[in-house]
Amino acid sequence: MPIKSEAATKRIYLDYNATTPLDPTVAEIIVTNLTEAWGNPSSLYPEGVKAKNVIATAREQTAKGIGAVASDILFTSGGTEANNWVISSTIEHFKQRSQAESKLKPHIISTTIEHDAISLPLSHFREKGEIDVTFVPVNKERGFVTPEDVVNAIRPNTCLVTVIMANNETGAIMPIAEISKLVKERNSSVLIHTDAAQAIGKIPVDVGLLGVDYLTIVGHKIYGPRIGALYIKGLLQNGGAPLYKIFHGGGQERNLRPGTENTAPIAGLGKAVEIASDSVKEFAAAMKMTRDHLEKRLKDDFQDAVVFNCASSCRLPNTCSVAFIGKNREGYNLVKKICGFSCSTGSACHANECKPSQILLEFNIPFEIAANTLRLSTGRETTVADIDKVVDELKHLLLP
Active site (catalytic) residues: 349
SS (H, E, C) 3-44: CCCHHHHCCEECECCCCCCCCHHHHHHHHHHHHHCCCCCCCC
- As a whole number of angstroms, the longest Cα–Cα distance in the chain is 71
Distance CA 313, CA 142 (A): 7
Distance CA 87, CA 146 (A): 22
Report CA dihedral (204, 208, 212, 215) to the nearest 10 degrees.
50
Phi-psi region of 100 (alpha: psi -120 to 50; beta: other; left: phi over 0): left
Q: How far is CA 13 from CA 2, 243, 299, in A?
A: 17, 38, 21
Question: Which of 156, 163, 116, 122 shows the shortest CA–CA distance to 139?
Answer: 163
Residue 275 and residue 268 in contact, taking contact as beta carbons nearer than 8 Å: no
Residue 339 and residue 393 in contact, taking contact as beta carbons nearer than 8 Å: yes
Q: How far is CA 170 from CA 91, 199, 324, 370, in A?
A: 30, 12, 15, 11
Distance CA 183, CA 185 (A): 5
Where does residue 196 rank: exposed (0-12), middle (13-18), buried (19+ CB within 10 A)? buried
Q: In which order are the strands placed within the sheet that holds 373-377? A: 306-308, 319-324, 373-377, 344-345
